[in-house]
Amino acid sequence: MQSVSNFRIVPAATRLDHVRYAIRDMAVLAEQLEQEGKTILPLNIGDPINFDFCTPPHLIEAVERAMRDGKNGYAPSLGIPEAVDAIRAEAERKGIRNIQGVFLTAGVSEGMDICLSALVNPGDNVLTPCPDYPMYSAVLAKLGAQPNSYMLDESNEWQPDLEDIRRKITPNTCGIVVGNPNNPTGAVYSRETLEQIIELARQHSLVVFSDEIYDKLILDDEPYTSLAALAPDVSVVTFNGLSKAYLVPGWRVGWGVVSGRATSLEPYLEGIYQLLRARLSSNHPQQFAVRPALEGPQDHLTGVLSKLRARRDITVEACRTTPHMSCVTPHGAFYAFPKLDIPDSDEHFANRLLMEKHVLTVHGTGFGQAPGTKHIRIVFLPDEATLRRAYQSVHAFMTEHYA
C-alpha cells in the first residue's frame, strides 16, 4: 500500500542568507524582456565568448586531440603532470618561490572553494574585499564562516584600505582574499599595497588567497606583480586559469599554486589534497590545453587587449560625461564600477534602466559597497557600437530622471 506523503516545504539552509546573487537576478529580469521581444544591451556578464572574442584554435586542437587519444577517463586528482609542470614553470617565471603544491581545479571557483574549505573552522573568519566578487562570500557562507569584509577605497583608485584591514583582523581571522586585478572595480594594486597586505598577513599568520585570473588583462603599461612573488615566507594560494585570458570559461580549467614555508604548510596542503581526491578530478581532456596555452603562441592577447583598451576608454569617457556619474579608471580586467550620485537606490536605478532602456548592468549593492554609496557594475566586453548605444541610453535615462 502506498503511504500518504506529508507535504512539507523544503527550506534552504539558513547559512545561505548571506549569499548574494544579484548578477543572475538581473539576468532573469532581462530574459523576461527578451521573451517579450525586446533587444537587451548586455553590460552584465564577464564571459568574453558572448562577444567578439574567439578561443585560440591551437587550444581547441589540443583538447580535441586529447579526446581522440582516449583521455576521457578521470584525471589524476591533482591534474595531469604536463599541465602541473607548465603551471609551476609559469609561476616561477612570475617570481614565485617556495612553491609547495600545484593542482588543477574546475576553474578558480572550485579552487577557491576547496582551499577555503580546507582551512576554515567553525567560528573562523576570512577577510574578503568590499565590493567583492560574490563567489568568495558565497563559499564562506556555505562554510558557515563569519562575514568579515575590508573596504576598497574609491578615493584611492580602489586600492584596499589597509587601516580597515588592520582593524578587522581578529584572533579568529585565518585568511584574506585579494582579487588583483579586481572584479568589480578594475583596479590593479600597486606593489606597495601588496607589500603592506603581505606584512599584515605575516604579522597575523593569515593565509593569502590571491585571485589573479585577470593578470594578463592589464590595460596600461604598469608592470603587474604577482603577490606571492613578494612573499616567499608567507602562506599564499595563487589562483589562475584559462577562463579569461585564454577565452575558454566553459572549459572550467583553473589552478592553485601554494607557496610559503614547507613546514608551515604541510598539514594545510594535505587537507587541500584530501578534498581534491574526494572530488576525483577536474575535467580531463581540457587540461591538455594548459601547456599549449601557457607555453604556446600568445598572439591572441594583443587583439584582446587592444579591443579592451578602446572599450575601456569609451566607457570611462561615457561615465565622465553622463550627469550624476563618475568613474575611477579601470586598469585591468573588463569591469568598471561607476559611482551614482542620485537619490534613488542603485538597485532601483539598475532595474529602471533595464526596464526602460533595456541596458543590463548590475547594481553595486549586489557586490557590497561602502554604506551610503551607490554604484553600478559595467562589463565593457561588447563591441564599440553596442557600448556607444548603451551609454547614450544611460545618458538619456539620467537626464530624464535626475536632471
Ligand X SMILES: Cc1ncc(COP(=O)(O)O)c(C=O)c1O
Q: Within the chain, how many helices (H) and strands (E) appear?
A: 12, 15
Closest residue by beta carbon to ligand X: 107
211 lies in the site for ligand X, by CB under 6 A: yes
Which of 76, 106, 102 shows the shortest CA–CA distance to 91? 102
Of residues 109 and 369, the one with the C-beta less far from ligand X: 109
Distance CA 97, CA 79 (A): 21
134 lies in the site for ligand X, by CB under 6 A: no
227 lies in the site for ligand X, by CB under 6 A: no
Contacts of 228 (CB under 8 A, 6+ apart): 91, 94, 96, 208, 210, 234, 236, 238, 257, 259
Of residues 44 and 322, the one with the C-beta less far from ligand X: 44
Tell me the window of 64-72, 103-111, 281-289, 338-346 that interacts with ligand X (CB under 6 A): 103-111
Of residues 151 and 398, the one with the C-beta less far from ligand X: 151
133 lies in the site for ligand X, by CB under 6 A: yes
Member of 115, 127, 188, 213 binding ligand X (CB under 6 A): 213
Tell me the window of 25-33, 49-57, 102-110, 312-320 that interacts with ligand X (CB under 6 A): 102-110
160 lies in the site for ligand X, by CB under 6 A: no
* Residue listed under C-alpha cell 564562516: 145
What are the residues facing 126 on neighbouring strands?
A: 147, 175
Taking the complex as a whole, how short is the minimal distance between the CB of residue 226 and ligand X, in angstroms? 15
292 lies in the site for ligand X, by CB under 6 A: no
179 lies in the site for ligand X, by CB under 6 A: yes
Member of 23, 41, 44, 46 binding ligand X (CB under 6 A): 46
Peptide bond into 184 cis (omega under 30): yes
DSSP class of residue 284 equals S
Of residues 358 and 363, the one with the C-beta less far from ligand X: 363
Distance CA 293, CA 246 (A): 7
Distance CA 164, CA 154 (A): 13
CA end-to-end span of the chain: 70
Member of 109, 137, 193, 282 binding ligand X (CB under 6 A): 109
Distance CA 67, CA 61 (A): 10
Of residues 252 and 357, the one with the C-beta less far from ligand X: 252
Distance CA 93, CA 166 (A): 31
- Segment holding 207, helix H or strand E: strand 207-211
Contacts of 28 (CB under 8 A, 6+ apart): none
366 lies in the site for ligand X, by CB under 6 A: no
- Cell numbers at 264, concatenated: 608551515
183 lies in the site for ligand X, by CB under 6 A: yes
186 lies in the site for ligand X, by CB under 6 A: no
Taking the complex as a whole, how short is the minimal distance between the CB of residue 262 and ligand X, in angstroms? 27
Q: CB of 119 within 8 A of CB of 275?
A: no
Of residues 183 and 225, the one with the C-beta less far from ligand X: 183
108 lies in the site for ligand X, by CB under 6 A: yes
107 lies in the site for ligand X, by CB under 6 A: yes
Tell me the window of 73-81, 120-128, 198-206, 241-249 that interacts with ligand X (CB under 6 A): 241-249
Judged on CB neighbours under 10 Å (0-12, 13-18, 19+), 329 is middle
Of residues 290 and 398, the one with the C-beta less far from ligand X: 290
241 lies in the site for ligand X, by CB under 6 A: yes
Taking the complex as a whole, how short is the minimal distance between the CB of residue 254 and ligand X, in angstroms? 4
243 lies in the site for ligand X, by CB under 6 A: yes
Taking the complex as a whole, how short is the minimal distance between the CB of residue 95 and ligand X, in angstroms? 21
Q: CB of 204 within 8 A of CB of 173?
A: yes
Cβ atoms < 10 Å from Cβ of 198: 20
129 lies in the site for ligand X, by CB under 6 A: no
Taking the complex as a whole, how short is the minimal distance between the CB of residue 266 and ligand X, in angstroms? 27
Distance CA 228, CA 258 (A): 9
Taking the complex as a whole, how short is the minimal distance between the CB of residue 133 and ligand X, in angstroms? 4
Of residues 119 and 398, the one with the C-beta less far from ligand X: 119
Of residues 106 and 231, the one with the C-beta less far from ligand X: 106
Q: Are strands 254-259 and 99-105 parallel, antiparallel or unpaired?
A: antiparallel
Tell me phi and psi for residue 252, to 5 degrees.
Answer: 60, 60
Residues in the site for ligand X, rule: CB under 6 A? Answer: 46, 107-109, 133, 179, 183, 211, 213, 241, 243, 249, 254
